[in-house]
A and B are shown apart, each in its own frame.
Chain A
Amino acid sequence: MLILSAFRHHTEPGDPVLLGWLVDRINSLVDLDPMVFVIAIGAVVVVIPIVTVIVFLYDRLQHGKI
């Protein structure tokens, strides 16, 4: 986060109309804090390659390819 913070010096709030519209739309389904939502979807995105690599390595190990 320290590295990312270097890019924050031009921080500007998003357009209230567009972002509010999108957030309302999502909140009508799941009412979550923005950061919780970010972490939840981010975790799914990170988990996909991790699980793929684990299954891949397990398969290779099972058959003596590693």
Chain B
Amino acid sequence: MVTKMANDRIFYGWFVLVVCFFIQLVGSGTRVGLGVFVLPMSAEFDWDRTTISLAMAIGILVGGAVQPFMGYTFDKFGSRQIICWCLLVLGASTILLSLTPNILYFIVVYGFVMAIAVGGSSGPVLQSLVSKWFLKKRGLALSISMGGMACATLFMMPFATYMILATDWRTTWVVLGSFVIFLALPLAFFIIKETPASVGQLFDGRKAQAGSDNSDSSANTRSDMTPPLYTERWTQSFNSAPMWQLSGGFFVCGVTTLVIGSHYVPFAIDRGFSPEEASWAFGVMGLLNFFGVLVVGAISDKLGRKNLLGLMYAIRALAFGCIVLVPGTMGLWLFAIFAGISWLSTPPLTSALTADIYGLKNIGTLNGLVTFSHQIGGALAVLGAGILYDMVGGYEIPFGIAGITLVGATLVSLMVNEKKYSIRYQADVTGPPMASQTTGSYD
């Protein structure tokens, strides 16, 4: 699997990818673990569920709102600076949660400080960095990076649970924060580099043509591999359809993932599923998330991305159809299987398409904006589902509406004109490297 250069050096991009995977693992671990902390902390401080949910909601909104700014900073100052600073703040603020004396402190640290730090050391920024190292294998690389988030749910949440049992919630926050500061931060600081050109390599670790100069040069800012919709400024991207199509699809992604994340347990209870059935179905869904994202990413490098993206939204629509229309546990299991396959597959496909279509110069900002649309959709859906539940007394209508929005996401994804706009179809990226590839950059 490891791509090697002509002189058998391991492609540096794989090291960057492992670092991104690890940052996702321990960084997301500080966030996905919150559910485990809710009740012990509520019990100690006598908080009600609404109060702690407020901190979570603020965290979601702040985290989404800072993404474009973090992306812009990434584009302006480079990845290592922003990732390292944000990891330092994330680790420190996670440790500071162990000193929580009241809800205000918790809201400030978790809802604001941590959320901002996560914005600079998570999905969009890391995916932008990975996009700078991979071209032909971009789908697979982004999927592996995203797999760190799936592993965080699979491993870090049980870890936090058992850590609380073995010690207490304060010690657990300290350990989770220490993973970030003492493991992820040094790894990022010493290994992350900006582009293949900065270490004298090419995209994907490909071999240079004999006699070509693959060292960094000032001539690597524009090239004949510039995608047709390449933008000098990020604002220009909104003049073209793909940015709206990708943002629109990802808005629906946010609607559907966060509505389930927030309302799945009450829905399962309403339907009369036992906790064991509901948790097993959710566990199977988590496992399928991990394998689904890897397989879909790898396939997208061979078959193109927009059709797969549309297919993933269609499969997720099917999942929502099953949970609403198919009665009993069969509906629950069909939902778990279909949703599991498609749940985490859409972010890497969307990021890869964004980089393929708009180039790498503003990739951080663009990924941040697309992710922001995801968070807006999620926040509106969580709120809307709660209001609708109160009005109609069930989750069938809100989940049904979410499923219908997925049909729209499927259609707009299929309408992305990938062959016209993607860099993958502008040059023979599987053939000998072009001039720009010898510099490892096409922005």
Interface residues of A (CB under 8 A from B): 4, 7-8, 10-15, 17-19, 21-23, 25-26, 34-35, 37-38, 41-42, 44-46, 48-49, 52-53, 55-56, 59, 62-63
Contact = CB atoms under 8 A, between A and B. Distances in A.
A38 B163 contact: yes
B170 A38 contact: no
Interface in B166-196: 166-171, 174-175, 179, 183-184, 186-187, 190-191
B158 A26 contact: yes
Given A7-B99, A17-B39, A21-B279, A52 B187 contact: yes
Size category of the B interface is 35 or more
10 contacts: A4-B174, A7-B170, A14-B40, A19-B40, A21-B279, A34-B163, A38-B159, A38-B162, A52-B18, A56-B15
B164 A41 contact: no
A26 B283 CA distance: 10
A38 B164 CA distance: 10
Contacts of B191: 52, 56
A66 B167 CA distance: 42
B155 interface: yes
Contacts of A15: 39-40, 42-43
Interface stretch (B19-27, B254-262, B427-435): B19-27
Interface of B: 7-10, 15, 18-19, 22, 25-26, 36, 38-40, 42-44, 98-99, 155-156, 158-159, 161-171, 174-175, 179, 183-184, 186-187, 190-191, 275-276, 279-280, 283
A45 B151 CA distance: 11
B15 A19 contact: no
A-B pairs, top 5 by smallest CB distance, nearest first, are: A15-B39, A11-B168, A14-B40, A34-B166, A34-B165
A53 B44 CA distance: 41
Dominant secondary structure at the A interface:
helix
Contact of A10 (B44, B165, B190, B275): B44
Contacts of A14: 36, 39-40, 43, 164-165, 169
B15 A63 contact: no
A59 to B, nearest CB: 5
Nearest to B9: A63
A4 B168 CA distance: 11
B10 to A, nearest CB: 5
Contact of B19 (A7, A19, A52): A52
Given A4-B174, A56-B15, A12 B26 contact: no
Contact of B36 (A11, A18, A41, A45): A18
Nearest to A25: B279
A42 to B, nearest CB: 7
Contacts of B171: 4, 7-8
B39 A21 contact: no
B3 to A, nearest CB: 13
